[in-house]
Amino acid sequence: MASSPDYLVSIVRLDDDFTGRLTTVSDAELDEVAPQWAQIEEFSFGGDGLDPVYAREFLGQLRDLARVAQPDRHVYCWVCV
């Protein structure tokens, strides 16, 4: 973890069960959940939330990354707040 007066950076390993379940999510399910996910408070940035199109793209890429992860490899997310 690193930090500065302006932000905090950390790397988080996604839970293996979550990663495994993420691999089974269909495109239709991502299309359904992305607009809802984009509106969570943490993504508001003082405005209207995250663009649902961007949220869908991100979730699809995260799913694709989970699909290539091997049992001895994990998926990590870099977080900056």
The pTM assigned to this predicted structure is 0.78
What crossing angle do the helices spanning 52-68 and 27-38 adopt, rounded to 10°? 130
Instruction: Report pLDDT for 40.
Output: 87
pLDDT of residue 10: 85
CA atoms lying within 13 Å on the CB side of residue 32: 5
What local confidence, expressed as pLDDT, does residue 1 receive?
Answer: 55
Mean pLDDT in order along the chain per 10 residues (81 residues) = 70 90 95 92 76 93 90 83 72
For residue 74, the Cα-to-chain-centroid distance in whole angstroms is 14
Q: What is the pLDDT of residue 32?
A: 96
Q: First vs last Cα of the chain: how many Å apart?
A: 12
**Structural contact between residues 62 and 22, judged by C-beta atoms closer than 8 angstroms:** yes
